[in-house]
Structure 1
Amino acid sequence: MLPLELLFSRAFSEDPYAAYAELRASGPVHPIDFPQGATAFLVVDHEHGRAALSDPRLSKDVAHSALPVNGEQFFGGTMLAMDPPDHTRLRGLMAKAFTARRVAELRPRVQEIAAALLDGIAARGEADLIEELAVPLPIQVICEMLGVPASDRARFREWTAVLTVPALTSEARARRREAARAFNGYLIEVIAERRARPADDLVSGLIAARDGDAALTGAELLAGIALLLIAGHETTVNLIGNGVLALLQAPDQIALLRARPELLPSAVEELLRYDGPVERASQRIALEDLEIAGTPIPKGAWVHVSLGAADRDPAVFEAPDRLDVTRAPKRHVAFGHGPHFCLGAPLARLEGEIAIGGLLDRFPDLALAVPPTDLRHHRTGSIVRGLRSLPVRITADSEAIAR
């Protein structure tokens, strides 16, 4: 059985793909000690992982777990932990206020925000791209969509940092409870304000969204906004950070992308596949005894799908450990698959394309400011995959060269 400690080890956080390759070589499904005390399995190939993500026999509701789950599951009241028909109804209502048209209309504003952030980097000639681009860009975009004032955005980043990390100790659980209390309290005030005085923002749109006579309940509205605020920026932070690092370590691919900027959309898809922002999909619980790739999965067992492992499966992607911006890997599962496919994927793609494209266009001599071995990833139990920092440098005349 794979130990829980493996998922939090430095070796795994720096390179999970080597571990996944070894696991995949011995089979697609492996028992794992996560959560502790539960019967749980990790799926590490593309075929069975993708199928599991849309298998109706696997529930998102931890109430079906054979292991009692405490009441500290912050995302328990969101779509992440629901099955049809409740999930279908909620997703439909959320989608009404989070459409492709609304995302497309955001492009000029996202470009404006990104340009201002890049101006700051150009002025200094060096930056931590995580703190100075990857974090502030999506936070500002989603907060503006939700009507959250600029003065409160730092608080949301702090709350998110706590709520997206597994709470394995009593101290961590206490921090999570406090963050959830503060986060929910703030959003309750925002919702009350928009009910009294509707505005042209996403919160007001969600309040008004209806499916026939049905609207979001107060609890559903609160949970949905919380999920959008967290998922609406955390994924993009890691897409930008992981993607830029991958390109900086593949100078031939940067050169190709600069020579052929029309490849940028397909390059973003390849970056999602190569080193995606979400390492492991959220839990599935077996509703009945079943098998995955011949491995018996008892009723009540937890099934975890490694998105990172699936997207490096050589049975689907030729030379999967090689970055290839011409690949256009349409079958990647970086945003999941099936009914729980990431609702915010179009926004994350847009932000990633603008941020990465802007960096390559403005800074032709962009380079790491530290050896790659000095970089560290967050150790978050393989839920999300992202860098703690990404120091880069440019020369003083970098933008002159670009022009």
Structure 2
Amino acid sequence: MTHDTLLRRILDPSARADPYPLYAELRKTPVLRDGDDLFVVSTYWEIKGLLHDPRISSDARNLSPGAAGTLLQEEEDSPLPPAFLRLDPPEHDRLRRMTMRPFGPPETPRRVHDMRGELTRIVSGLIDDFGDRKQVDLVDDFSYPFPVTVICRLLGVPREDEARFHSWADTIAAGLDPAPGQDPGENRRATRQARTDLGRYLAGLIDERGGAPGDDMLSALVTQHGADGRMTRMEVLSTAALLLIAGHETTVNLITNGMLTLLRNPDVLERLRTDPALAAPLVEELLRFEPPVQLLPQRTTVADIDIGGTTIPRGASVWLVLASGNRDPKRFADPDRFDPGRRDNQHLGFGSGIHNCFGAPLARLEAQIALTELARRLDNPRLVADPPPYRQNAVLRGPRHLEVAFDALGT
């Protein structure tokens, strides 16, 4: 790839605050070839088709030696086997079925629903902790600690250990998006150590739950028996790490991007304050308008695919730009307008097909409760800086900090 390609401009951190004009330019060539073996797909129907196409592999082991480099360095650094997110059928299907049993329908249909009260208490506690301050960093003070605490409760991490869990999660998150000027070697060493410490802790917790299971999800993963047999110890570890990293990072961005969008649309914010029922369609529109996952890199073709008038050869690397598909005017009317009342909003915010986001029901509920309570309790909230400083990561796009000022804190 040459330095001045359109893809390089999209990946440049200077584009992070508003990549959407670049996505519009990208859509002029629905399947863009960049270099010898990288194809970038940017239009809604072509992305949707590929997400359901068995000729597209998510398994990194199928990447050709010359394929584009990783944007998700943590996969290289992890001592664990790939989580089901990075596998193909039948391995993917077996592990996903086993993970779903203690998480959702049909075996555990009320798991997420029954967390509503706990989620509301966590959100209320975090807002209470704003105390007498009239300005907070929504990322540090709210969006980051909320989903980590939720995952701790979901997995059954003892309350006295949650602070340690938070510390490891923060370090791993920083590894995904190093601060400007930070030494890359030191960052990788810190991330690797946090992963090692977290892995050892989870391994101990797995052993403990194997002998004395509780009603948490980790206990269910350790002890479950079914048609698919039992997960190995390493598979449980890998799945638990996936729940932490994938679930945490996406929810942070969903909530932060959501509050930023609401503060830029004060009429919608006021509607949410007086009508909590708006939360569900509002979050769906946020997932279209400002999706927490902008693109899916490192998919690989296992056969030639003809799409959009272009043949993508077997063994090529394919990037699917979900956020561009979500703004495709051939699929969504007036796509650059934020409209919580939008009908037929079948966005790509959680992907589609067999890799459709496993944690989507929980992420939706977390965002609905978080944004509703922030709208209700912050009196006259406003942005301190717009645009805020953004993280450099092009895949997991969101503000690094979001300073919000307000006049008072309601009860």
Q: What TM-score, normalized by structure 1, do the two folds share? A: 0.90
Aligned to 1:376: 389
Q: 1:140, 1:211 → 2: CA distance? A: 30
Does structure 1 residue 92 correspond to structure 2 residue 107?
no
SS in 2 for 1:296: strand
Aligned to 2:235: 220
Q: Which runs of 5+ in 1 are unaligned?
A: none
Assess, with a 3 A threshold, how the Cα gap between structure 1 residues 10 and 190 changes in structure 2: closer, same or farther: same
Cα deviation, 1:89-134, whole Å, max 9, x if unaligned, reads: 1100000111141010000000011011111225322211111111
Q: 2:191, 2:165 → 1: CA distance? A: 18
Cα deviation, 1:317-370, whole Å, max 9, x if unaligned, reads: 1111111111155310111100001110011001100000001111241111x2
Residues 136-145 or 321-330, more deviating: 321-330
The alignment-based identity, stated in percent, is 38
1:128 pairs with 125, 137, 142, which one? 137
Structure 1: which amino acid aligns with 2:76? E
More helix by share: 1
Does structure 1 residue 29 correspond to structure 2 residue 42?
no
Assess, with a 3 A threshold, how the Cα gap between structure 1 residues 359 and 170 changes in structure 2: closer, same or farther: closer
Please say if residues 162 and 179 of structure 1, whose CA atoms lie closer than 8 Å, have aligned partners that are also in contact: no
Assess, with a 3 A threshold, how the Cα gap between structure 1 residues 173 and 52 changes in structure 2: closer, same or farther: farther
Aligned to 2:83: 78
Q: 2:49, 2:360 → 1: CA distance? A: 20
Q: 1:261, 1:385 → 2: CA distance? A: 27
Q: 2:299, 2:369 → 1: CA distance? A: 34
Please say if residues 168 and 195 of structure 2, whose CA atoms lie closer than 8 Å, have aligned partners that are also in contact: no
2:162 pairs with 139, 143, 150, which one? 150
SS in 1 for 2:296: coil
Q: 1:76, 1:279 → 2: CA distance? A: 25
1:115 pairs with 124, 136, 144, which one? 124
Q: 1:122, 1:328 → 2: CA distance? A: 39
Assess, with a 3 A threshold, how the Cα gap between structure 1 residues 4 and 43 changes in structure 2: closer, same or farther: closer
Does structure 1 residue 19 correspond to structure 2 residue 34?
no
Residues 118-127 or 43-52, more deviating: 118-127
Assess, with a 3 A threshold, how the Cα gap between structure 1 residues 367 and 165 changes in structure 2: closer, same or farther: closer
Does structure 1 residue 333 correspond to structure 2 residue 348?
yes
Please say if residues 129 and 389 of structure 1, whose CA atoms lie closer than 8 Å, have aligned partners that are also in contact: yes
Please say if residues 155 and 218 of structure 2, whose CA atoms lie closer than 8 Å, have aligned partners that are also in contact: yes
1:275 Cα deviation after fit: 0.5
1:176 Cα deviation after fit: 4.6
SS in 1 for 2:311: strand
SS in 1 for 2:16: helix
Q: CA RMSD in A?
A: 2.4
Q: Which runs of 5+ in 2 are unaligned?
A: none
1:259 Cα deviation after fit: 4.2
Please give the residue correspondences for 1:297-316 in structure 2 after superposition, counting only pairs within 5 Å: 297-316=312-331
Structure 1: which amino acid aligns with 2:118? R
SS in 2 for 1:304: strand
Please say if residues 66 and 299 of structure 1, whose CA atoms lie closer than 8 Å, have aligned partners that are also in contact: no
Q: 2:209, 2:240 → 1: CA distance? A: 13
Q: 2:254, 2:226 → 1: CA distance? A: 33
1:183 Cα deviation after fit: 2.9
1:144 Cα deviation after fit: 1.3
Please say if residues 171 and 190 of structure 2, whose CA atoms lie closer than 8 Å, have aligned partners that are also in contact: no
1:181 Cα deviation after fit: 2.7
Structure 1: which amino acid aligns with 2:43? D
1:48 pairs with 32, 46, 49, which one? 46
SS in 1 for 2:327: coil
Q: 1:73, 1:304 → 2: CA distance? A: 22
Please say if residues 256 and 398 of structure 2, whose CA atoms lie closer than 8 Å, have aligned partners that are also in contact: yes
1:40 Cα deviation after fit: 1.3
1:212 Cα deviation after fit: 2.0
Q: 1:169, 1:329 → 2: CA distance? A: 44
Assess, with a 3 A threshold, how the Cα gap between structure 1 residues 390 and 157 changes in structure 2: closer, same or farther: same
Assess, with a 3 A threshold, how the Cα gap between structure 1 residues 153 and 181 changes in structure 2: closer, same or farther: closer
1:287 Cα deviation after fit: 0.2
Please give the residue correspondences for 1:58-73 in structure 2 after superposition, counting only pairs within 5 Å: 58-67=56-65, 72=76
Please say if residues 30 and 43 of structure 1, whose CA atoms lie closer than 8 Å, have aligned partners that are also in contact: yes
Q: 1:187, 1:3 → 2: CA distance? A: 42
Does structure 1 residue 263 correspond to structure 2 residue 278?
yes
Does structure 1 residue 190 correspond to structure 2 residue 192?
no
Q: What TM-score, normalized by structure 2, do the two folds share? A: 0.88
Assess, with a 3 A threshold, how the Cα gap between structure 1 residues 249 and 329 changes in structure 2: closer, same or farther: farther
Q: 1:333, 1:76 → 2: CA distance? A: 27
1:230 Cα deviation after fit: 1.3
Q: 1:293, 1:343 → 2: CA distance? A: 29
Please give the residue correspondences for 1:242-281 in structure 2 after superposition, counting only pairs within 5 Å: 242-281=257-296
1:178 Cα deviation after fit: 3.5
Please say if residues 236 and 348 of structure 1, whose CA atoms lie closer than 8 Å, have aligned partners that are also in contact: yes
Assess, with a 3 A threshold, how the Cα gap between structure 1 residues 383 and 126 changes in structure 2: closer, same or farther: same
Number of residue pairs the alignment of both structures matches: 391
Cα deviation, 1:63-96, whole Å, max 9, x if unaligned, reads: 2222278982648611121111111111000001
Question: Deviating runs (4+, > 4 A) in structure 1?
Answer: 68-71, 168-176
SS in 2 for 1:283: strand
Q: 2:184, 2:303 → 1: CA distance? A: 31
Assess, with a 3 A threshold, how the Cα gap between structure 1 residues 63 and 204 changes in structure 2: closer, same or farther: same
